[in-house]
Amino acid sequence: MFVSGATILHADLDSFYASVEQRDDPLLRGRPVIVGGGVVLAASYEAKAYGVRTAMSGGQARRLCPHAVVVPPRMSVYGKASDAVFDVFRDTTPVVEPLSVDEAFLDVGGLLRYHTPVKIAAKLRADVRGRVGLPITVGIARTKFLAKVASQVAKPDGLLLVPPDRELEFLWPLPVRRLWGIGAVTADKLRTHGIETVADVAELGEPMLASLVGGAMGHRLYALSHNRDSRRVQARGRRSVGAQRALGRARQADIDATIITLVDRITRRMRTAGRTGRTVVLRMRFDDFGRATRSHTLPSATSSTEPILAAARGLVSAAGPLIAQRGLTMIGFSVANIDRCQQLELPFGTSADPLALDAAVDRVRRRYGSEVLTRAVLLQQPEK
């Protein structure tokens, strides 16, 4: 039965990298698979059952699941799979808003004369499975926020519609971490005040929430707890490429190692996709739940690791006093002003082509795995 108003789909591939590995190697199907050796980039649901999680150290993951199969990442293969999935999305509806390489919002309101959203979503899932060979979960709701929550609840390999007349009935019993912006630290803080479900947030009231987590976050959480989200799906290409990581009580050396890891990941993805960018953006979250953003625009567009890494380090260095004062719990970078091609420049005053070095490293990693080449500074980091 079609319920008027629920026309937003959130489509999210299940354990994307690990699912690609299981697709391409039948011997891995049904077995716990970990992608990445030093740091877990993805884990199959069989590995997640043992507590393995993305961004966990490889050593910890192997202790939790000693019989897991560890495979090196194949970023170029994942990039091609992502492109194929987005072809399915755009064959379904022209209104597609990418969120990352493995998820997107779709608005199917213009297709209702032909099919219900549930039938559209079912066909999309079948097409992704048939054309790309991957499992995908789809949530359907009236708002972007609730569609994403629905897909999280329906995982893995599921489909879930939240009817508009039952939104709060669905939302309120869920744990508070289902609300966007609430991580482990914030959830623990709210739990000390007896706030464990979305219903608790809705009943608490905005002023009290603001006193606990800050005005901006309190306002946002209270609105989401009542499913107030006016954002519409916006069809667009990818405007930036980014990555982020949560931090514990990080030392400066740990922060620098994280910068290197994130920038290396971002620039490899850019080169695989044939994209360049000019603006490096730093995003920070602090102990007091506040956030800050800094950016630096390069003289020319690039996908080379060195200039982007230098800009990222410069942004963090400039933010050093703020970090020292407020503590850093999350750091992220993105490269914006994305273009499809590399603008060629005459190499006046340069002794080597940094892109040639990057390309050589990429080729070695594609052939022998990401762990075979790494920066020396990362080898000095103790295993967490």
Nearest to 177 by CA among 195, 192, 158, 159: 195
Q: Tokens for 196?
A: 């464990």
Q: If phi over 0 gives left and psi between -120 and 50 gives alpha, with beta otherwise, what is residue 283?
A: beta
pLDDT cut 90: percent of the chain above it: 49
pLDDT tens digits along 221-232:
999 999 999 999
Domain 1-167: assigned CATH number: 3.30.70.270
Domain 172-225: assigned CATH number: 1.10.150.20
Alpha helix segments (H runs only) across the chain = 16-24, 45-48, 58-64, 75-92, 117-132, 144-154, 167-171, 184-191, 198-204, 206-213, 215-225, 252-273, 305-318, 320-326, 354-368, 376-379
Confidence band of 367 (pLDDT split at 50, 70, 90): low
Provide the CA 206 distance to its chain's centre, in angstroms: 28
pLDDT tens digits along 308-337:
999 999 999 999 999 888 888 889 999 987
Give mean pLDDT, residues 206-221.
86
Give 186 or 198, the one with higher predicted confidence: 198
CATH topology of domain 240-379: Dna Ligase; domain 1 (3.30.1490)
pLDDT of 51? 96
306 assigned to active site: no
Q: Tokens for 23?
A: 């697709």
pLDDT cut 70: percent of the chain above it: 84
Q: Are 319 and 369 within 8 A, CB to CB?
A: no
* pTM score: 0.65
Give 239 or 254, the one with higher predicted confidence: 254
Sequence-separated (6 or more) residues with CB below 8 Å from residue 233: 8, 95, 96, 97, 105, 106, 107, 144
Confidence band of 141 (pLDDT split at 50, 70, 90): very high
Q: Where are the domains of the chain?
A: 1-167, 172-225, 240-379
- Among 97, 103, 167, 345, the one annotated catalytic: 103
3-state secondary structure 252-304: HHHHHHHHHHHHHHHHHHHHHHCCEEEEEEEEEEECCCCEEEEEEEEEEEECC
Mean pLDDT over the full length of the chain: 85
